Amino acid sequence: TPGEQPKRGGTLLVAGGNYPESYDPKLLTNALGYYEWNAKLYNNLLANYEDDKIECDLCTGWRVENGGKTWVFDLVKGVKFHDGRELTAEDVKYSLELQMGYLDGIISPRGGLIKEFIDTVDAPSKYEVRINLFQPTTIQNKVLGIGASVIYPKGTARADLQAKPQGSGPFLLTQAVSGSGYTMDRNPNYFKPGQPYLDRIEMKTVPDQNSRNALFLTGKVKYFMGLRESDFQQFMPTLEIMAADGKVNKKQIPGG
């Protein structure tokens, strides 16, 4: 409801169709892997939370210089990775260069597109990032707001992300059972005051589509993403009745 304030607390139960291969959202190609499973463990320079609105995530603001070819971002000070290290401009520079394949030759299949628009990334000071473009455009900001454009600590290797996440996000990974599920608990040191609102997110792997549908309709899981009539056809009449009765909320969002 417009104007209604979010309530604090609770556990969100989510069922996904598969289990991510690693904690490396830059490398994953399956959208569930970086949007649902891993996104809560990380932050981006920018975010796209609502419609086509781009806003700061790790920055406090930005300005455009050099006739639109240079974008300068001022970072939030004091952001900490989950291991206690402070997040700085060097981490952002490293992460974007890794994403573009400049460090190990592996271009991110989802976020590597930025290399077609970004010439260089500079970190002239601890809390300033300068993104230099080949020509004036805004598309890089769109890509920097997707789940494959997360920020890692400088020096993070692909092998590190096989074992554990390397993020600064609103939730901490407290349990992971390979092929089965994640448990993520609220990060008590998160830099955004009062956030996150949830205490816990439990992600479960349920490969069968009909089983996932049934879990949602019976209230055993509270969130369902990627609803398509072709997948949900036999349940659609029930879903529409539940929506009309106010038992479920439905929101249409742009893909990606």
Euclidean distance between CA atoms 72 and 74, whole angstroms: 7
pLDDT for 209: 85
- Write the single-letter amino acid at 200: R
pLDDT for residue 173? 98
226: left (phi over 0), alpha (psi -120 to 50) or beta: left
The pLDDT tens digits along the chain (256 residues) read: 567 788 899 999 999 888 999 999 999 988 788 888 999 999 999 998 887 899 999 999 999 999 999 999 999 999 999 999 999 999 999 999 999 999 999 999 999 999 999 999 999 999 999 999 999 999 999 999 998 999 999 999 999 999 999 999 999 999 999 999 999 999 999 999 999 999 999 999 999 988 888 898 888 998 877 666 666 778 888 888 988 999 888 777 666 5
DSSP string, 64-127: EEGGGTEEEEEEPTT-B-TTSPBP-HHHHHHHHHHHTTTTTS---TTTGGGGGTEEEEEEEETT
Alpha helix segments (H runs only) across the chain: 31, 89-99, 139-144, 160-163, 209-217, 229-232, 236-244
Separation of alpha carbons 181 and 137, rounded Å: 40
